[in-house]
Structures are given as structure tokens and as C-alpha cells.
Amino acid sequence: MGLAAPALPGPSFLGGGAGPGEAWGDEPAPGLDILVFVDETGSTDRQFDVYRRSLLDKIVPGLQQGDRLRVVPITDDNSLISDFMAEGMLDPRPPFDSLSDNELDYKAKVKELDAKDNAVRQGLLTILKKKLAKPGKSKYTDLFGAARMASQLFSADKMRPVAVFLSDMQEDRGRFRYRSMTFGPKDLSRVEKAYGFPDLKNVCVYVIGTRSPSIERTRKMASFWEQYFKKSGADITSSQMGSMLVNWPPPDGCGRPRVVSKDNSGWFDRLKKQF
């Protein structure tokens, strides 16, 4: 297991005014709860830099107000919640109340907190550059355990959950060994009987790095994992599977909060309650 990284302080973060089509008093859209699994097994040496670049060049710099990032290693046993390699969060922007808030004070606070956001991103980059300096050397790969871990970590999420698997997707643990699997319907049925499918309903899933020596086998592996995650209830399409992380950040329709807030009223509804 990777060593735990100290949790970074999550700054309060206010957006600079309303977003497109959003009044300043409206509740902001739920932030992304991004859970990234990084394959730390020996089979990933050739493409480990793809994983590093996905995190360092796209995921971390792309964090926005209200987003949370947690990074977990994939090793020989992901059956239990493991220590995070890194974690950090940017607090969501509170609504601006034009009846009671001073706009100049609001914008001054936004500027101050924007600097704190940048510090969180930089802190994550510093930790991950160190953690991902070299490929891991774990002997086996527990991908099914990682998927079950994701279902636990997203069990009651009010944010928009996103799981990213940075892995060659070569399961190699227990009764499921990459070299003996055909990655067809029979293997999918065997997995269901052995473990069942994790509850990933409303979770947006990316699978980056699926690889084998054969193009045809790689195609079968990609199809297997796409079907596995669909049977788990996840939001996943072929555009979210590939050798590199391309379609980022996730489109608005991918992933939805698994727990919906009871108060979904907008700024106009709240204004009416005051009179």
C-alpha cells in the first residue's frame, strides 16, 4: 500500500460572479468528487508516464471550485479502504446575495481565496510528483477490489462522482489471472458469481491505459471492462476508454450525485420566502 499523504487544507472558494446562465444567488452545481486509481504493479512500466501526465497535466490543474481529488494505488489487495496517495479539496462558491452582500467585498474575497486554491493545486502536484516518480513494483493486481472500494467511497455522495482507472487493466489476483482469462461473456459471468458487481450507479467512469501484446486481445479487454462497469451501473462510454486521457473534464451528463439535497430551491424561491 502507498504511504498516506497528509490531507491538504480545503480553502473556501468563491467563483468570480455567476457562471453561464446562472444567477449569482443560485446554488452552484455540485462539484466533482474525483477518485483516481493508479496501477502500482510491475506490468505498467511502459505506460506509467501516461498515468503521471494524466494526473499532473490534466486532472490536478483542472480542479475547479467545489471539486475534491483522492488518489489511491492499485496493488495486490484493494479489498479494504487504503491510504490515499494524495487528497485535496477546493470548497464550493457560496451564493452571492445582492440584497445583503457587498459586491466589492465579495470580489476581494474571491481574489484572496483564488490564491489559496492555487496553493492546493500546487500542493497536490508536489506530492504526486514525488509519489509517482517511479512505477510501482506490486506483484499482483486487484482491479475488482479497487472497483468495490470505489463503491464504498462513493456510498453517500452529494457531489458528482467520477472514478478514473489509470491501469493496463490486467487483473492478476486470486482466481482471476490475466493470462488465463478470455475476457468474454463467460469471464464476466464468473466475476458476477465470485464477487457480484459493485454499486457504481451514477458514477462517471474512465478507464485509461488498457493494454496487452495483441491488438485483438486489447479490444476484448476494453469491451470486457466497459460491460463490467455498465453492469455496475456506471456511466461509461467508449469515449471514456483509451490509451490517453482525452475527454477531460467529464461532460455535464456523466455522473450524478448519489444523494440529492432536499433543498433544491433557487435564489428566486429563497427571495420569495423573505417576504
Across residues 130-134, what is the average pLDDT? 91
Residue 274 predicted with pLDDT over 60? no
Strands 68-74 and 86-89 turn out to be antiparallel
Q: Taking a C-beta distance cutoff of 8 angstroms, is the pair 204, 250 a contact?
A: yes
Min mean pLDDT across 1-10, 20-29, 58-67, 204-213 is at 1-10
Per-residue pLDDT at 82: 64
**Percentage of the chain modeled with pLDDT above 90:** 52
Most confident of 24-38, 164-178, 199-213: 199-213
| pLDDT-derived band at 109, boundaries 50, 70, 90 | confident
Question: Which of 259, 252, 239 is CA-nearest to residue 22?
Answer: 252
Residue 43 predicted with pLDDT over 80? no
At 239, the amino acid letter reads: S
Rounded to 10°, the helix 215-231/185-195 angle is: 40
* Whole-number Å distance between alpha carbons of 24 and 12: 17
**Mean pLDDT for the chain overall:** 82
Per-residue pLDDT at 88: 96
**Percentage of the chain modeled with pLDDT above 70:** 79
The structural domains of the chain, ordered by start, are 32-273 (3.40.50)
Q: Taking a C-beta distance cutoff of 8 angstroms, is the pair 183, 223 a contact?
A: yes
Per-residue pLDDT at 275: 46
Q: Which residue did the predictor score with more confidence, 93 or 68?
A: 68
* Whole-number Å distance between alpha carbons of 144 and 141: 9
Per-residue pLDDT at 108: 83
Using only C-alpha atoms, the chain has a radius of gyration, in whole angstroms, of 20
pLDDT in tens, 53-78: 999 999 999 999 899 999 999 887 66
Residue 230 predicted with pLDDT over 70? yes
Q: Taking a C-beta distance cutoff of 8 angstroms, is the pair 128, 176 a contact?
A: no
pLDDT in tens, 247-269: 899 999 999 998 765 555 554 45
| pLDDT-derived band at 18, boundaries 50, 70, 90 | very low
| pLDDT-derived band at 270, boundaries 50, 70, 90 | very low
Residue 136 predicted with pLDDT over 70? yes
pLDDT in tens, 172-205: 776 787 778 889 999 999 999 999 999 999 999 9
What CA–CA distances, in Å, run from 250 to 27, 143, 235?
20, 22, 11
| pLDDT-derived band at 14, boundaries 50, 70, 90 | very low
Per-residue pLDDT at 113: 83
